[in-house]
Structure 1
Amino acid sequence: MKNQPQKCTATKPPRGVAGALLFAALLMAGNPAWAAQVAGMVARLSGPLMVKKADGSVKVLALRSEVESGDTLISEKNTYAQIKFVDNSEITLRPGTTFKVENFAYDEGKPEGDDASYSLVKGGLRSITGLMGKRNKEKFLLKTPNATIGIRGTTFVAQYVPAPGPASPKTPVGGPPAAPVMAPGLYVQVSDGAIVVSNAGGSLGFQAGQFGFVPNPSRPPVLVPSNPGLIFTPPPAFNVNPGGPLASQGPEGRPDTVDCIVR
């Protein structure tokens, strides 16, 4: 007799990311003690995405997996992952990124409680402002090892390149030439709106179309005249309205990679 695969049972949410986020909000209202920590969910995914929970446990996330305050997300080397937060903001992680949701609090009727604090440990991301960023710009903060980033109603890309370790990979003899290596530091690019980058060395604002660089935590941010090598190329589906059908889904709007009975 063949072994049957293990399956899980869950309540079926509305289709689409917008409906699923509404579903999460309804769960919050029914069980505030549990759901107050829910910040958003995985809206797009091109490969493995891990999460380290606040209690130290590690899990694999799938499409529509919830993301909570205190979660540390780790994208694998070929993975782009887009997180849709409950205020309709988006953060898309590039491959090889470690990103922590330090704290996220949003209630449409209580703007005084807004808070969005994140940490980019390594790697890169694209951030698109949501409702919180439009009404309480000062409540958004992205921390990095070299500086913090505040917004002014914004779409921006940030990438932190750590200093290479002693065991950094080298190009094999006779192999293809290595890709250009960016100098260690924090790089930013603003596509829309503006950001302010600050550290112990000072603060500097960047407008749409500008690039910036912060070499270390003590030296001030500087304006870079052209793209220093930032590359952010998620799959085309990541640029489709995430309120519609999700990428990599099977019938009934369920992710192909999740073995789950939805009722």
Structure 2
Amino acid sequence: MKSLNYSRWAVMARRLALWWMALALLAIAGVAQAQSQAVGTVTHLSGLLTARHADGTRTVLAVKSAILQGDTLITERGTYTRVQFLDDAEIVLRPGSEVVVAKYVYDEKKPENDSVAINLVKGGLRAVTGLVGKRNHEAVNFDTPTATIGIRGTNFGALFCQNDCGAVPTTNGTPPQNGLHVDVTQGAIVLTNPGGTQLFQAGQFGFTPSLRVPPIIVPVSPGIKFTPPPSFSTPVSPSQQSTSGQTVDCVVR
């Protein structure tokens, strides 16, 4: 009888283990599917742009290439690129930049599910708010090494320097100092770090040199230029949009 009871417990234990294994595999599959979803498209490009995917593989991108959730976008020297996302938000990356599309969830029918997290690792960008930011600005965050940028329906620029902005053009010819520089063209942004929080309105400039120093309003423009090719200002045509992931890119092995 003891042997029979032991056998039953062994069978139940195996079934329970298989059940937990199946749940784990489903969870892993769900994460992989989310990371492989196309959330944006390259609409303009002036040089070499690569994507480091969440699985560690690298791809050279072209116009109409799909941007996947979890991608790290890397622009080489002299390269500007413009990316349009599912909710019509746009970012333009400067040369020598690295940006992670950590999360991009846009649910047209359920705004409460919206969530956008973009990380600026190095270099700079300009960003224009899409539908997510317009209807739920708390759902959009841009993280940088020195502060988090919260948006208020806006058009803004950000540049992070860490002894690597010598090639960034300025009006006075002097490279920008190390730290995070921001400017607001439309709407407003909020910079937050452990040192404090500061609101920046349209027409204002901001700066924080490190994670522990509160962001401040800079009274005079630091003269940092942003000069993508003139073609980048043209509207995106339907033929330029493709988030199906069917574009054949060059895989870096």
**Could you tell me the TM-score, scaled by structure 1's length?**
0.74
Q: 1:223 to 1:34 in 2, by over 3 A?
A: closer
Give ranges in structure 2 of 5+ residues lacking alignment: 1-31, 241-246
The aligned runs of 1:1-263 (5 Å cut-off) are: 33=33, 37-163=37-163, 179-243=173-237
* Cα distance between partner residues in 2 of 1:55 and 1:148: 26
The Cα RMSD (Å) is 2.5
Tell whether the 8 Å contact from 1:40 to 1:83 is kept in structure 2 after alignment: yes
Q: Which residue of 2 aligns with 1:26?
A: none
Counterpart residue identity of residue 199, structure 2: G
Tell whether the 8 Å contact from 1:37 to 1:104 is kept in structure 2 after alignment: no
CA shift at 1:179, angstroms? Answer: 4.1
CA shift at 1:227, angstroms? Answer: 1.5
Counterpart residue identity of residue 86, structure 2: V
Q: 1:34 to 1:192 in 2, by over 3 A?
A: closer
Tell whether the 8 Å contact from 2:35 to 2:69 is kept in structure 1 after alignment: no
* Cα distance between partner residues in 2 of 1:207 and 1:243: 31
CA shift at 1:243, angstroms? Answer: 2.7
1:91-139 CA-to-partner distances (Å, cap 9, x unmatched) read: 1101110000011111211111101001000000000000000011001
Q: Give the structure with higher Rg (CA).
A: 2
* Cα distance between partner residues in 1 of 2:197 and 2:213: 10
Counterpart residue identity of residue 63, structure 2: L
- Percent identical among aligned pairs is 46
1:29-81 CA-to-partner distances (Å, cap 9, x unmatched) read: xxx94787221110111111011000111110001111011100000111110
Q: 1:60 to 1:109 in 2, by over 3 A?
A: same
How many residues were matched structurally? 209
Q: Which residue of 1 aligns with 2:20?
A: none
1:168-189 CA-to-partner distances (Å, cap 9, x unmatched) read: 99xxxxxxxx941211000000
* Cα distance between partner residues in 1 of 2:164 and 2:104: 32
* Cα distance between partner residues in 1 of 2:109 and 2:184: 30
Structure 1 or 2: more helix by fraction: 2
**Could you tell me the TM-score, scaled by structure 2's length?**
0.77
Tell whether the 8 Å contact from 2:60 to 2:249 is kept in structure 1 after alignment: no
